[in-house]
């Protein structure tokens, strides 16, 4: 089956919400409680920078778009978003490094 992208994936959001309205409403309420919370200890700009870091890690293009826009609207600078990118990259690299240690442990187990 060939899928031709005639329109953006975002255009399918209403269909997805209609197909699972209870779950979609729960997701929307949860996201709203997290990102609309201006009374919490973490200010909105930092919530959005965290979201950018997670979006970079999960490689979710739609999250990256929406949270970069929201971070900008919350006052995040180009430099803050750039630094967030490199903090994320360091953590991703650290994950590979620590999993390399697991690979060494597995190898040791094979040699017993």
The CATH code of the domain that includes 84 is: 1.20.1290.10
For residue 5, the model assigns a pLDDT of 55
CA angle (24 as vertex; 21, 30 as ends), nearest 5: 140
Q: How many structural domains are present in the chain?
A: 1
pLDDT of 53-101, one tens digit each?
Answer: 999 999 999 999 999 999 999 999 999 999 999 999 999 999 999 999 9
Provide the domain limits for residue 95. 14-110
Residue (of 88, 100, 97) closest to 59 by Cα position = 88
What average pLDDT does range 18-31 have in this prediction? 97
For residue 47, the model assigns a pLDDT of 97
pTM assigned to the model:
0.82
Residue 9 · residue 62 · CB < 8 Å? yes
For residue 111, the model assigns a pLDDT of 81
Q: Does residue 89 lie in a domain region?
A: yes
Q: Does residue 6 lie in a domain region?
A: no
Residue 48 · residue 55 · CB < 8 Å? no
Q: Does residue 25 lie in a domain region?
A: yes
């Amino acid at each position: 089956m060939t899928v031709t992208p005639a329109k953006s994936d975002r255009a399918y959001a209403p269909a997805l919400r209609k197909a699972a309205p209870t779950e979609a409403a729960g997701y929307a309420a949860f996201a709203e409680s997290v990102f609309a919370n201006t009374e919490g200890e973490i200010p909105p700009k930092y919530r959005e920078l965290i979201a950018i870091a997670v979006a970079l890690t999960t490689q979710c293009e739609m999250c990256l778009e929406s949270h970069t826009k929201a971070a900008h609207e919350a006052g995040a600078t180009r430099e803050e978003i750039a630094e967030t990118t490199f903090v994320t990259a360091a953590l991703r690299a650290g994950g590979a490094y620590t999993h390399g240690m697991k690979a060494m442990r597995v190898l040791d187990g094979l040699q017993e």
